[in-house]
Structures are given as C-alpha cells and as structure tokens.
A = this chain, B = another copy of it.
Amino acid sequence: MNTFGRIFRISIFGESHGSVVGVTIDGLPHGIKLNADDFTADLARRRAGTKGTTPRVESDIPEIATGWFNGYTTGAPLTILFRNENTKPGDYDKLKDVPRPGHSDFVAYHKFEGYNDYRGGGHFSGRLTLALVAAGVVAKKVIPEVSIVAKLIEAGGKANIDEAIEDSQKQNDSIGGIVECTATGIPIGLGEPFFDSVESVISHLAFSIPAVKSIEFGSGFTASRMRGSEHNDPIIDSSGNTATNHAGGINGGITNGNPLVFRIAVKPTSSIAKSQQTLNVKTGKTEFLTVQGRHDTCIALRVPVVAEAITAIALADLLLIERVRKNR
C-alpha cells in the first residue's frame, strides 16, 4: 500500500530510474506557509555526494504541483514532484536475470511475475526516501512545537564513522550503522490504543525505509535485561517529567511528555563491488556477481534525515487526531 496515515495521509509513487518520484499529502491543514526553499536543507542532507555515498547525484528540485496557492497550503491535496535526471538504466540490464543477494530483485521478480521495473530496484529503491523527506519537511511545519534530531551514532560497529567507511571502501565492501532519533516538545497523550501506539506507527514507517532491520524505543533490548524497579521511570512532577527515561517517552503506547527516543539499525548496503555468489534465474545456475552501478558504501549515512521525516510524519498524524479529542 502506497498510503499511510489517518488524517495527515501521505501517498508516494515513483521509481529509481523512471521519470518521476513524488508524494501527495492529503489532510494537510490549510494556511501553512510553504515554499520550495523550505525543502532545501533536508533534501541536501539526504542527497548523495559525500564520502561513503553514491556518485549518482540528482538535483532534487521540488515542484509543488497541487494544493498550494500564493505561498500557503490550501487544504487540498499537496503534491510534490521530483524529476529523475541522472538515470543510467543501462547499468541494470545485466541484473535482470541475476538477482543481487540481499536486494529486492528476486522477490520483486516473483511477486510481480517479471513485470517489475528492475532498473535500480524500481519502486523498491532508496530513491523513494526522497518523497519521505519531502513529506517530512511539510510534517515538521504541522508540529512546530516539536523538535526532532536524528544522528548516525555508529557505523560498521564503530563510533569513528569516517574510519569505518574508509576501511570498508578499501575492501570494496559496505557497512551498516545505527541511527538515533530524539524528539522533544511532544505533548502528553499522542498515540491511539489499541493498534496505533506511538511505537506501532513509528515502527511501521521506519520499516518502510529500505535497509532498516530493527528498532528499539528507550532502553529497548536492554530493557529486557533490567528489573522493574530499575526500568520504571519515577514521575517527579505534575507535568509528568521522569527522573530517568528508560521508556523513551512512551507509556502504554502513549507519549508521556518526556523526550521520545528510538534507535534503528541499518543493514549494510546490499550492492557491493566485491564478488558474491548468486543464482541466474534463467539458467538456474550459480553465478558470481560484481555489482556495477553507483551505490552507497554506507547507506546509513543518508538515513538520519529520513528518520526525522518519518518521525515528523507519524507525530503530525497523531497530533491532528488528538485535536479531535482535546479541542471541543
């Protein structure tokens, strides 16, 4: 399903090497000041071009195509379009029959019975995160009281991220990383029992980011090794502030007013220049594949701004829903 959200609803579309990647946001309040410039900073953070990212660089100029008039959102669906320019679809012809290990090639071929756009992963590409980042920029404007910051805190198992990338590049290999995201200024009470806990909504979106394989809130996996007396965060004032924050700002699936904290694990990029064993689906024989094309050594480098975006999207939706309850 290409749509997510109940009130602030995003629909994304596009392919890695097709003509367009885009997003439509429905349910967006009217009267939000918005200009193309507002996207510049976050799109730049997502864009490739620095060490460890792919040499494919796109200009990523947003066209605000609908739902916008005289500098403000109108309340009608807002569509943002990006034209793909720097495509080299020829790079992928070879991969048609030889799925890259760890990538979506094999499953996409089976699911769509050979009709999938296999160029650069088609719709399964990380290029679609462009649409998420654009939606995130708009979402952040819906919740100006919330501040969201995500950082790559570890790559290839190391805190020295530059070093880890250099090591990996020398070996024609790739590495993963861990991104931590913290959001402050969130009111008490966001999240919907039973199925739309804050964790449910954020994780749903987080696992739509290609390469994410794990998420933990607050103490996360460590929590499973703590005692209750140690893990429970004592409430210290009537605003709900707690002495510790093992819960990551969430109790019973609902925000408790303390900082929301989660970490996501990003696996190493599947496409590597090193030779790997795979199968030729046409011949049924084992082959060894060296992935050509332009790829990231460490895709995790580009994930923090996407993590911020999905957090903003989740919180914008939950905040708008909560308005139904509180403002009567």
Chain B residues near A188 (CB, 8 Å)? 106-107, 110-111
Q: Tell me if A214 is interfacial: C-beta within 8 Å of chain B.
A: yes
| Bound form: Cα–Cα A232–B276 in Å | 9
From the candidates B218, B268, B271, name the one contacting A231 in the complex (CB within 8 A).
B268
| Bound form: Cα–Cα A1–B219 in Å | 26
From the candidates B201, B204, B325, name the one contacting A30 in the complex (CB within 8 A).
B325
Tell me the residues in window 208-236 of chain A with beta carbons closer than 8 Å to chain B beta carbons.
208, 210, 212-221, 223-236
Contact B20 A123 (CB under 8 A): no
| Bound form: Cα–Cα A246–B121 in Å | 20
| Number of A interface residues in the complex (CB < 8 A) | 152
Instruction: Report how many copies the assembly holds.
Output: 4
Contact B195 A4 (CB under 8 A): yes
Tell me the residues in window 24-47 of chain A with beta carbons closer than 8 Å to chain B beta carbons.
24, 26-27, 29-31
Contact A189 B252 (CB under 8 A): no
Chain B residues near A117 (CB, 8 Å)? 69, 74, 76
Answer whether A75 and B106 are a contact pair too, CB < 8 Å, given A24-B11, A24-B24, A66-B20: no
Quick one: CB contact mask for A78-114 with B, threshold 8 Å, 1 for yes?
1101000000000000000001111110111011110
Contact A229 B272 (CB under 8 A): yes
Q: Tell me if A311 is interfacial: C-beta within 8 Å of chain B.
A: no
A193–chain B nearest beta-carbon distance, Å? 6
Contact A223 B219 (CB under 8 A): no
Tell me the residues in window 267-285 of chain A with beta carbons closer than 8 Å to chain B beta carbons.
267-272, 274, 276-279, 281, 284
Contact A18 B328 (CB under 8 A): no
A90–chain B nearest beta-carbon distance, Å? 14
Q: Tell me if A320 is interfacial: C-beta within 8 Å of chain B.
A: yes
* Shortest Cβ distance from A156 into B: residue: B225
From the candidates B99, B193, B199, B323, name the one contacting A324 in the complex (CB within 8 A).
B323
7 shortest A-B CB distances, which residue pairs? Answer: A104-B252, A327-B327, A174-B228, A102-B232, A76-B123, A214-B216, A157-B225
